[in-house]
Amino acid sequence: MNNEAIHYLNIFLGVGVILLQVASVGALFLLFFRTKETTNNAYLDFIDKHVLILSFIISLFASVFPLVYSEIIEFLPCYLCWWQRVFMFPTLFLFGTALWDRDRKVVRYAASLLSTGFLISIYQNLFYYFGDTSTLPCDASGVSCYQHLVSEFGGYISIPMMALTAFFSLLTLLAVAHFYPKKVVVK
C-alpha cells in the first residue's frame, strides 16, 4: 500500500475509534447514571436488542485490521500487541457463534477474555502516552508500537488506542447486556 492509502485508512479508522469512544462513554453514562423513574431508554434498548451483532461487528473489525496492518502494510506487532491479539481474536468466534445461535450467555464467556485484554491495553497505553522511553516494555530498537507507526489527530489515534477502544467498547456492550433491566411483559 502507498503512504496516501495508509493515511486514509488511518483517518477512517481514527474517526471510527472516536465515534466508538463517544458511543461507549454515552452508553455507560446512561446505564449507570439514569434515574429509577426513567427505566426505558431508546439508545440502551437498541444496544440491548442488538448486542450480539454489534459485538460481532466490533470484534470483526478489531481482528481484521490488526492483520491488515501486520500482513499487508507490514507494521509488525510488538510484544504487547501480540498479547492483546491473543485475547481479542477468540472473541470473534465467540460472538460469531453466539450470533448464529442467538445465545446471550456469551456475555459471561467473553467478559474474562475482554477484561484481560483491556488491562493489557491500559498498560500499553499508559506507557505509550505517558511513559519514559527508557522503561518501555517494548523498546524502539526492534518491533515496537512506540515507533508511532500510526499517529492521527494530533497523535491521539494510535495502534494502542485502537486496541484499547475495541476492548472498552466490547466491555461496554457486555455491561449493557448484563446490567440493563429487561422489559417485563405484563399480561
Domain boundaries, given as residue ranges, for the chain:
3-179
Summarised one tens digit per residue, pLDDT across range 58-114 is: 999 999 988 888 888 887 777 888 888 899 999 999 999 999 999 888 988 899 999
CA atoms within 13 A on the CB side of 20: 27
Dist. CA 168–CA 82, nearest whole Å: 18
pLDDT of residue 185: 46
Q: What is the DSSP letter of 157?
A: B
Dist. CA 168–CA 125, nearest whole Å: 13
pTM value > 0.85? yes
Residue range 120-147: average pLDDT? Answer: 70
